[in-house]
Amino acid sequence: MSDDINVTKPPADEMTSAERTRSGTYYRPDVDILERDEELVVRADVPGTASGEIDVKFEDGMLTIEARVKPRQAADTGFLLREYGVGDYYRTFQVSESIDASKITAEYAEGVLTLHLPKAEAVKPRKIAVNAV
């Protein structure tokens, strides 16, 4: 057995993703996930949407972010140049069941969705006192 341990991220096209039943353009928002002692923090870029158009679900260890973006122009607009695509955002993550789902909070400001996923008490790190004998 070799002492070499190589961990690689599979290419995006090999990763499994949830199937969607809605048609239309979907974008995969970029995210940062931070782990802190008390919680996981997820920051997702979802510009162009409103806070009322964002759905966040946590069920059976799956975190789902879906945000709808309304078209900025009428459908019959004659563009000279069109580079900005308009579509909804969709992303799912497998998250440990050690999250206290009843305490998840979300904030949205300046195009960034921030989710706070508190860890369950049983999995939080704790300091153990060492007594002298």
Q: pLDDT at residue 12 above 60?
A: no
Q: What is the pLDDT of residues 51-75, one digit of tens each?
A: 999 999 999 889 999 999 988 788 7
- Helix and strand numbers (H, E) in the chain are 0, 8
Q: What is the pLDDT of residue 52?
A: 94
User: Is residue 107 within 8 Å of residue 85, measured between CB atoms?
Assistant: no
Q: pTM of this prediction?
A: 0.72
The residue with tokens 């993703």 is 17
**pLDDT tens profile 90-120:** 999 998 778 898 999 999 999 999 999 999 8
Q: Where are the domains of the chain?
A: 25-71+82-123
Q: What is the spatial distance between Cα 25 and Cα 22, in angstroms, rounded to a whole number?
A: 9
What mean pLDDT value characterizes the chain?
82
Instruction: Tell me how crowded residue 90 is: count the other CB atoms within 10 A of its CB.
Output: 19
25-71+82-123 maps to CATH 2.115.10.20: no
Query: What pLDDT is recorded for position 14?
Result: 47
